[in-house]
Structure 1
């Protein structure tokens, strides 16, 4: 039967469908921006938890996420009901994230640690389920590589907008009249930020469910070898996914780009706080830069993602990834060679380079993953769980190592 004759099918180029799809990961992206940018800072500076303990809590979250990811991928592909899993994961994210920023302990007892571990577990399991359910919808509702690329670019653009929103919210909420440094008295400000994020995230998820009603397609359309612009067709469709060498190369590219982005998110605020303690920086200025430096980074990332959507076939995913990697390496060398004291201009320049790098490499790696699914006919949930497994585990291990150093 012709695909256009199916009663539940709507053209994948529908603007409503694309916008609705972009809202499906907004809650996750808002929470991720807060989790990676400010959780370690919140635990260290606001709650005065020892750096090694804070790093361990973050590591626990990443380990739980990495374990939940393949289980979520298997379960989603086995049942096939991606929207139901997405809804359950959203409830878990809302509960765990709210609890994480709702307790101000007077001392760090075993019951308090258990509370944080439980909150982190609920949050990370729900986050993994929502992530895999949303990613696996890309090959489900797209019919060719162009549509997959559009959905991927929209998803990343929405992610960048979420990060910008979090930094703007943080900038507004953390403003104060007494020019005091950030510390324990800011607990309720961080709690307010978290609750605002939960409200916006739930609202976006509701629009996602309404916009994608009746748009799913059960049969994957395998990309022909002639249309496989990234040469990801393995010609071994009878082989198990884990026996394909290509999946490990795709996973490695995604892991590297994600690790680079995550470490920048986590350590930019801590770097700025440490720089403010060493150098003579006004307290009011410190409060601003902790939000504005990441904000500039993500504005650059947002502009890059818009440009990538218009790149066409002249700039394949592999070339885009190479450009992003080179830009990130330049930013790292610039930062590693040292920034002049009180030179905020250099910091903003580095932030722009980091934004361009993160956007290019992430969009390219996600496009390569979607193309691999479409070119080989595998279930999206399992492929995305394999690809995202390593970045979560390794990022947690790297953070724990840095905290112990």
Structure 2
């Protein structure tokens, strides 16, 4: 009885500590995806294409650093040490991004942002892959992997909520004017608060992740199992197997859908306010709309932890992807500028979609790692590579196609959220269909071999 109680206590401590390990990354990511393009374009007054290129640079550096981080983690095995080094890089780079405001756009100013963004993204990639690769190490079975993934996503959602609450308090002053260059100091305050909270969470992660790693794992071997991603060919390198690309495409679609909504909702709100008459409400809605989205996402992630066997990972992803498609279509119906209720309903739907597809795709990835016995670092780096590279390219393309002057395209960002996000949702659903076909094919092979 005493052994069982000790085991339960250690497991709880381990799970809580694990959830703290990616908080700094998640806090910075909420700022990066929700407000960085807005900050560069509206607050620093950079041209649309220049702001898009800087964001693209960050995604490109992140994409290149991700597989290198995966290789380094698998080669050295020092996941926690590399996690610590990445944390220091994140803190330094992120602080430098918000510590400088150029008087005019010079080569030195661009170089400052380039170096700061590169340092931040390299550190971010190392922390992300190190943290993800810990999941297979400390999990005992698929259920435990799912719990750790849900905890990780729940912590991520809580971080985003924290960022939007901080933004609401800092930006929502008595000033009724639109946000502009005068708000540089306020964004700097937000960034410094985020760095402090993130460093404290990382310190608790290093102190609390105790216990030995799990060496035994309950392999899912039944051919008819709904979550079986066994490739049936363990001698074949995982890059030569179609399942890893399908799972990567599903993860990419989930992340890209969430990322594009985070990036362009503030710009869509700014676009919407410019066409409205009367008092500007963007200082409130720029924080409350994403806040509602993430509260909905948090509630969904908690519900997913209690899902039964009837709602496996593929069903969860399908429901989330379909709901996301509905949200994109709804945004395309041109919501009236004097109606915010519909916006909040859409935010709720977006939160449900993001949480469902993200948790499901990460669970499928963890299952693929465990059932096939591959190193977690490289697999996770390949899965996240497509997301980071493609999202940066899409943002750069969208910013490059922006009309000059803006009033020539008064609904530009509305169309981005409708058509591009809708296409991304369809891509994820098609990838899910192909994955189901591949799994059934593997199941048939297993059945024939057993006979």
Question: How far is 1:223 from its partner?
Answer: 1.4
Report the aligned-residue RMSD: 1.5
Q: Distance in 2 between matches of 1:59 and 1:150?
A: 33
**Contact 2:314 2:360 survives alignment (8 Å):** yes
Map residues 291-370 of structure 1 onto 2, 5 A cutoff.
Answer: 291-370=287-366
Residues 9-67 of structure 1 deviation map (CA, whole Å, 9 limit, x = unaligned): 96697111101100100000000000000000000111101110000000000000000
Query: Residue 75 of structure 2 aligns with which residue?
Result: 78
TM-score by length of 2: 0.86
Question: How far is 1:184 from its partner?
Answer: 0.8
Q: 1:144 aligned to 2:135?
A: no
Q: 1:62 aligned to 2:62?
A: no
Map residues 81-100 of structure 1 onto 2, 5 A cutoff.
Answer: 81-100=78-97
Query: Residue 278 of structure 1 aligns with which residue?
Result: 275
Q: Distance in 2 between matches of 1:141 and 1:151?
A: 9
Query: Residue 233 of structure 1 aligns with which residue?
Result: 230
Residues 107-139 of structure 1 deviation map (CA, whole Å, 9 limit, x = unaligned): 010111011000000000000000000000000
Query: Residue 26 of structure 1 aligns with which residue?
Result: 23
Map residues 43-62 of structure 1 onto 2, 5 A cutoff.
Answer: 43-62=40-59
Q: 1:115 aligned to 2:112?
A: yes
Residues 227-269 of structure 1 deviation map (CA, whole Å, 9 limit, x = unaligned): 9541201111111110111100110100000000000000000
Q: Distance in 1 between matches of 2:120 and 2:277?
A: 38
Query: Residue 187 of structure 1 aligns with which residue?
Result: 184
Query: Residue 288 of structure 1 aligns with which residue?
Result: 284
Question: How far is 1:282 from its partner?
Answer: 1.7
2:395 to 391, 399, 403: 399
Any stretches of 5+ residues in structure 2 without a counterpart? 402-451
Summarize the Cα distance change of 1:86–1:256 in structure 2 as closer, same or farther, 3 Å threshold: same
1:169 to 166, 169, 177: 166
Q: 1:245 aligned to 2:214?
A: no
**Contact 1:301 1:355 survives alignment (8 Å):** yes
**Contact 1:153 1:305 survives alignment (8 Å):** yes
The aligned length equals 396
Query: Residue 256 of structure 1 aligns with which residue?
Result: 253
Q: Distance in 1 between matches of 2:345 and 2:250?
A: 25
Summarize the Cα distance change of 1:280–1:13 in structure 2 as closer, same or farther, 3 Å threshold: farther
3-state SS, counterpart of residue 125 of structure 1:
helix
Question: How far is 1:314 from its partner?
Answer: 1.8
Question: How far is 1:205 from its partner?
Answer: 0.5
**Contact 1:22 1:158 survives alignment (8 Å):** yes
Once the two structures are overlaid, the 10-residue window that deviates more, 273-282 or 101-110, is 273-282
Once the two structures are overlaid, the 10-residue window that deviates more, 351-360 or 220-229, is 220-229
Query: Residue 386 of structure 1 aligns with which residue?
Result: 382
Summarize the Cα distance change of 1:274–1:220 in structure 2 as closer, same or farther, 3 Å threshold: farther
Q: 1:132 aligned to 2:129?
A: yes
3-state SS, counterpart of residue 225 of structure 1:
coil
Q: Distance in 2 between matches of 1:229 and 1:84?
A: 36
TM-score by length of 1: 0.95
**Contact 1:152 1:363 survives alignment (8 Å):** yes
3-state SS, counterpart of residue 14 of structure 1:
helix
Question: How far is 1:225 from its partner?
Answer: 0.8
Residues 172-222 of structure 1 deviation map (CA, whole Å, 9 limit, x = unaligned): 0012223222111110100000000000000000111111134434x4636
3-state SS, counterpart of residue 312 of structure 1:
coil
Any stretches of 5+ residues in structure 1 without a counterpart? none
